[in-house]
Amino acid sequence: MRVYIPSTLRLLDVACHAGEFGPAPLTAYAVTPALREWYAEGDDEELEYAAMAQAARASVGLLAADPDTARRRVVVAVEVSAVPPADGSVDLGDARLELQVVIPWTKVAAVHLDAAGAAAVVGKAADLWEAAQNGDDDAVFALDSCEGEDLLWYATQEIPDLLAAEGPRGLNGVN
């Protein structure tokens, strides 16, 4: 099953060098029963996109917590054999789940990353993340604006070169 892990360039670099995503538990996003019920008319591709979009939004929260990392959303698509069932505490439409395992790098299928030109929009959203969580209209608008930025797709064999081009540990301002 395809699962989406929100990340940052710095966290991606750490995982690439460590050979795994961890420690457990890991927050990830997938086509959950709650998402399928909320988006009943959606086909599998649309549901996958909705799950990835939720992971991309969560990536903004990770950027907010690490102001020194490059202001670009990162979503790592991984293949896992099973996803734990929802425990009943999720909201309708929620694709979030908790993985109780470390994910080996060999399970990475692809990485989705904002283009460098999206850094200003994403950075503003990260700066206003906490206000958006508290319902501030301008901050929510900034966060929603990220959804207008397409995530680029990178195959697994491209990731080491991508990270090398971004500089050490995906530090902000390094292109």
Query: For residue range 83-95, what is the model confidence (pLDDT) as tens digits?
Result: 655 555 567 677 8
Name the 3-class secondary structure at 129: helix
Residues 6+ away with beta carbon under 8 Å from 74: 6, 7, 8, 9, 11, 12, 59, 111, 112, 113, 114
- Tens digit of each residue's pLDDT (9 = 90 or more) over 36-52: 888 878 788 899 999 99
Supply the pTM of this predicted model. 0.88
- Tens digit of each residue's pLDDT (9 = 90 or more) over 99-137: 888 999 999 999 999 999 999 999 999 999 999 999 999
Q: Which of 27, 28, 5 is nearest to 74 (CA)?
A: 5
Residue 98 — pLDDT band, cuts 50, 70, 90? confident
- Tens digit of each residue's pLDDT (9 = 90 or more) over 156-173: 999 999 999 887 555 544
